[in-house]
Amino acid sequence: QINYFKPSSIWNGLKGAIKTVENNSRWLIGNGRNIDFWRDCWRADYSLMEAISVDPEIWRCIFLLN
């Protein structure tokens, strides 16, 4: 258990740097032929397919149609 904390002079600078990086970054997607909208992880550690609760059989049908 921590009963005290010491403010960090570095932390505020790091938080500002993170925002600068986020605001000045972009995705590099190459030629666009290998992008999988549903199965690639865009902004999280999981894909849109994993984030949306849909019956796996429906996903299988969608991928067969594409």
Closest CA to 51 of 34, 35, 38: 38
Instruction: Evaluate whether residue 49 is within a structural domain.
Output: yes
Q: Which structural domain, as residue segments, surrounds residue 18?
A: 11-65
DSSP symbol at 51 = H
Structure tokens at 32: 């666009």
Instruction: Evaluate whether residue 4 is within a structural domain.
Output: no
Span 2-61, pLDDT tens digits: 677 777 778 778 888 888 888 888 766 666 677 777 788 877 788 888 888 778 788 777
Count of domains observed in the chain: 1
Instruction: Evaluate whether residue 58 is within a structural domain.
Output: yes
Confidence of residue 64 (pLDDT cuts 50, 70, 90): confident
Q: What gap in Å lies between CA 17 and CA 13, rounded to an integer?
A: 6
- pLDDT score at 20: 86
CA atoms within 13 A on the CB side of 48: 8
- pLDDT score at 3: 76
Check if the beta carbon of residue 66 is closer than 8 Å to that of residue 56. no
- pLDDT score at 28: 66
Instruction: Evaluate whether residue 30 is within a structural domain.
Output: yes
